Amino acid sequence: MTHYLTKLYTPKPEWLALSRDERERFFIAVGMALPDLLAEGVEVVAMGRVDQTQPRAAPHTYFTVWRCPDSETLDALVTGIAQSGWLNYFDTVNAAGRA
């Protein structure tokens, strides 16, 4: 059964303190793990900036929506994001579940 992860995130001061090169290196490292996840059926559905003009908008800056074929793959995605160091640089909220 298909599962989704909506990740809301806002840069922390630690991210803002990085140079452009350091940020690029971080995203390159995170991106290197994507082929393995994609091979397992993980899909990026959408990414973008949270529209703060909408009523009751989330207080975060960005969002990503992921689709996973099952709960095990969803767990692997959430674990992989945490292991990447993402949580060191972004204040993050996850909304995940079965469709």
Helical axes 71-83 vs 20-39, angle rounded to 10°: 160
How far is 34 from 86, CA to CA, in rounded Å? 14
Per residue in 33-70, pLDDT tens?
888 889 999 999 999 999 999 999 999 999 999 999 99
User: What pLDDT is recorded for position 17?
Assistant: 98
Burial 52-91 (b: 16+ CB within 10 A, else e): eeeeeebebebbeebbbeeeebbebbbebbeebebeebbe
Q: Would you say residue 97 has pLDDT above 90?
A: yes
Mean pLDDT of the chain: 96
User: What pLDDT is recorded for position 14?
Assistant: 98
User: What pLDDT is recorded for position 56?
Assistant: 97
